[in-house]
Amino acid sequence: MKPPPVVYHGPDTVQEAVRLLAEHGGHAKVLAGGQSLVPMLNMRLTAPARLIDVNRLDELAYVRTDLEGVRVGALARHADVERATHAFEAVPLLRQAVRSVAHPTIRNRGTTVGSLVHADPCAEMPAVLLLLDGEVLLRSDRAGERVVKAADFFVGPMESACEEDELAIEAYFPRPKGRTGTDWRELSRRNGDYAMCGVGTSVRVDETGAVTSAKAAYIGMGPVPSVVDVTGADFSAAAEHAADQLDPEDDIHASAEYRRHLARVLTARSLKAAYEAVAP
């Protein structure tokens, strides 16, 4: 299991990276953390003619928090997101969810933005971006910079809105508004495996503790990560409602029906936990 031959580019600047993408876009893959790409190369399941290695783009190795939310640069590793206390304080869901991404050693190298672009429907961070109504900043020679809303970013299984000539520069995770509690939970076969079902929830309450908004995001439950608005229902009804919206598939680890059942159970548990985090 050795990767096929490939031409390598290791740009030192974003500008150079974007220029290389403009030149080779259709035949090149961006190599960031490589925790999904390199296994596929090793197994020869993919064979791009060129790799554009963005690991020298130190300018993108940041996790910044401001009044609006958290901005994660393309070279920030999952571990950087996990460790950034300011990011956790602003957007607790980031740390809640990123801890379920594989194992620490994978998180040390894998990048959050890379995971978004990879758009694996079983991965945690796309669902987080979706639940928080985040955005991804893309850049290309052709179109300059553009911002894509999470709702438009995950277009299919393993397919994001990032075009072949575009480099994802940054992901933006807005602070939840008002009094919002969040929670992440999932059930996987082994610790660190892809979840049979993963649920992230966000519950906003008013001063009296009444729920004004409730949403749940899912992984492993369909071809793309999905969000269901469950505002207005009690948590168990909300869980039923949400599970009905999902379209999971059978695989060797869990039946579709079981996944849907898990969605029900985990959604109710998760909404409760998110609510209790902020309930007066």
Q: Which residues bind other proteins (CB under 8 A)?
A: 1-8, 10, 31, 34-35, 38-39, 41-44, 51, 53, 55, 79, 102-106, 108-109, 187, 189-194, 196, 252-255, 257-258, 261-262, 265-266
Question: Using CA atoms, how far apart are residues 248 and 263, in angstroms rounded to an integer?
Answer: 10
Residue number, 146 or 253, with CB nearest to other proteins: 253
Tokens 């990560």 sit at which residue?
Answer: 225
Question: Using CA atoms, how far apart are residues 259 and 251, in angstroms rounded to an integer?
Answer: 10
In angstroms, give the least distance from the CB of 110 to other proteins.
9
205 Ramachandran zone, left/alpha/beta (phi>0; psi -120 to 50)? beta
* Structure tokens, 58: 């130190």
Residue number, 113 or 262, with CB nearest to other proteins: 262
Residue number, 195 or 230, with CB nearest to other proteins: 195
CA distances from 251 to 17, 173, 184, 221, 259 (A): 38, 32, 23, 11, 10
In angstroms, give the least distance from the CB of 212 to other proteins.
28
Residue number, 179 or 253, with CB nearest to other proteins: 253
In angstroms, give the least distance from the CB of 255 to other proteins.
5
* Residue 266: how many other CB atoms lie within 10 Å: 27
In angstroms, give the least distance from the CB of 96 to other proteins.
16
